[in-house]
Amino acid sequence: MAEHSGLFVTFEGGEGAGKSTQIRSLADLLRRRGYDVLVTREPGGSPGAEAVRHVLLSGAAESYGVRMEAILFAAARNDHVEEVIRPALASGAIVLCDRFIDSSRVYQGATGNLEPDLIEALQRVAIDGVVPDCTIILDLPADIGLKRARGRDAGAAPDRFEREEIETHEKRREAYLEIAAADPARCHVVDARGSEAEIAAAIASIVEPRAKQLAAGQPGATETVG
Ligand code: TYD
């Protein structure tokens, strides 16, 4: 039986797209409007998942291959969902999550070459029905994102390693756009080249109407399969 409660919004995008700044700004706006907001992130977001985050981001799991990494991301996600996200949604909160399932599809799938069937099987187990109501994809050309992330002069020509990185980022960007095209009811692509204020306004125009529906007693499509 499907049960509806809370509003689950995830944020996705490559490096330098400004996800964390935008999440903070949206959380502030929604709190000012009186909503109960929980900000969280992946990998991590719960004590168990933060322990796995350390293993993943330190590179300790890298030498064991992309399958191992994907399974660890999924294990961390399951703990995060069960310990933090599902209870918050059940209490009617708006959950803003920095990265979620689409990061696995893009990083382990599109650029890690992991088989899509395995990724989807892992996701099913990891989220157990807690599907985002709305996913904001901050879209930025890879060269701009990489330079922003490093605080470099956007006009400088990339060296060989940067060109390789740019190719990888461009692949990820395309993968995100494909996910968005395949699931337009959930995914909203926001052009991240604008000013912080412009991007914040674009995001608010997507999320605020959904928050209002929630307040009016018509919660989002968060499905909790029980
Ligand atoms: P983080 O330091 O949180 O940075 P960012 O600002 O890019 O979100 O790093 C998270 C890294 O983990 C990022 O490179 C993307 C990667 N990642 C995956 O590869 N798969 C996943 O499922 C998730 C959630 C993250």
Q: Where are the beta strands (DSSP E) in the chain?
A: 7-13, 37-41, 94-98, 134-139, 187-191
Amino acid at 169: H
Per the CB < 8 A criterion, the answer to whether 8 and 189 are in contact is no
CA gyration radius, the chain: 17
Per-residue pLDDT in tens (0 to 9) along the chain, 226 residues: 335 489 999 999 998 899 999 999 999 999 999 999 999 999 999 999 999 999 999 999 989 999 999 999 999 999 999 999 999 999 999 999 999 999 999 999 999 999 999 999 999 999 999 999 999 999 999 888 888 887 766 567 777 777 888 999 999 999 999 999 999 999 999 999 999 999 999 999 999 999 999 888 865 545 444 3
Ligand 1 pocket residue status of 11, Cβ below 6 Å: no
**What does the angle CA 28 – CA 224 – CA 218 come to, to the nearest 5 degrees?**
55
Q: How far is the CA of 99 from the centre of ligand 1 (A)?
A: 7
* 10 DSSP β-pair partners: 97, 135
The answer to whether the CB of 73 is under 6 A from ligand 1 is yes
**Could you please report the per-residue DSSP string of 91-138?**
TT-EEEEES-HHHIIIIIIITT---HHHHHHHHHHHHTT---SEEEEE
d(CA 29, CA 144): 27
What is the pLDDT at residue 221? 44
Helix (H, G, I), strand (E, B) or coil at 172: helix
| DSSP classification of residue 6 | S
- The residue nearest atom 17 of ligand 1, judged by CA position, is 103
Q: Which numbered atom of ligand 1 lies nearest the CA of 73?
A: 22
What are the structural domain ranges in the chain?
2-224
Q: Does domain 2-224 have CATH number 2.60.120.620?
A: no
- Which residue's CA is the nearest one to ligand 1's atom 10? 43
Output the pLDDT for position 220: 54
Q: Closest Cα partner for 8 from 113, 87, 110, 123?
A: 87
Index of the ligand 1 atom closest to the CA of residue 19: 6
Q: Is 42 in the pocket of ligand 1 (CB under 6 A)?
A: yes
Ligand 1 pocket member 78 (CB < 6 A): no
pTM score: 0.93
Is the Cβ atom of 43 under 6 angstroms away from ligand 1?
A: yes
DSSP state of 158: P
* DSSP H/E element including 175: helix 160-182
Nearest protein CA to atom 4 of ligand 1, as residue: 15
- Sheet with 134-139, edge to edge strand ranges: 37-41, 94-98, 7-13, 134-139, 187-191
pLDDT at 1: 32
pLDDT for res 143: 85
